[in-house]
Amino acid sequence: MIAFVAGRVAALAPDGAVVEVGGVGISVQCTPGTLASLRLGEAAHLPTSLVVREDSLTLYGFADDDERAVFELLQTASGVGPRLAQAMLAVHGPDVLRQAVATDDFVTLMQVPGIGRKGAQRIVLELKDRLGAVRGGSGAVRPIGRGAALWSEQLHSALLGLGWSSREADDAVAAAASDAAQATAAGETPDIAALLRLALRSLSRA
């Protein structure tokens, strides 16, 4: 098992990063929130989980060990593979998922593309006593950190990565623009994780 990767960020993409480790570029799939914490050319340390399939080896990277642990636990539920588990963490932090499972909050789980009511019920039933108690802090959103001008581009890419069409992503970005503008006016950088949740809520109402 590859427990973590540490090295210089050699490349960034909407769904992942390349980290240079000992002269080798390692591709790591990450959520938008985790990607937002990375800087091109700077050092990074990402806890990882390796998913082995017959035709592929995919390395997933996380902001911290808790996020990785939740990612691996989510996959023990029927019908939840690594991509859906990653999508769940892209929409909600670990503590939000713990709270939703503990309180039978199906609506929160259904905000994740690919999870319907039956899927949410199954996840709650199978994981209710396994995700643990809310820890505090690990579910906190992470700021975008690369400048307010790029928030719409990153949000749009994140929505495409979660399976929405380009037109739907455009509409959702427009719905989040007001909140992003307020953050910018206050001298803050728009928070991609918070904007992603807002955008997904607007799509679920459409």
What confidence score (pLDDT) does residue 102 get?
92
- 70 and 90 in a single domain? The answer is yes
**Each residue's pLDDT tens digit, 7-16:** 999 998 878 8
**How far, in Å, CA of 86 to CA of 119, rounded?**
16
Query: Is 135 contained in some domain?
Result: no
**Each residue's pLDDT tens digit, 128-137:** 888 877 776 4
Query: Is 142 contained in some domain?
Result: no
What confidence score (pLDDT) does residue 39 get?
87
Q: Which domain holds residue 42?
A: 4-61
Angle (CA) 135 33 1, round 5°: 75
Query: Is 132 contained in some domain?
Result: no
Q: pTM value?
A: 0.70
**How far, in Å, CA of 112 to CA of 194, rounded?**
14
99-117 average pLDDT score:
90
- Count up the domains in the chain and report the number: 3
The domain boundary residue, chosen from 19, 40, 61: 61
CATH of the domain at 28: 2.40.50.140
CATH of the domain at 122: 1.10.150.20
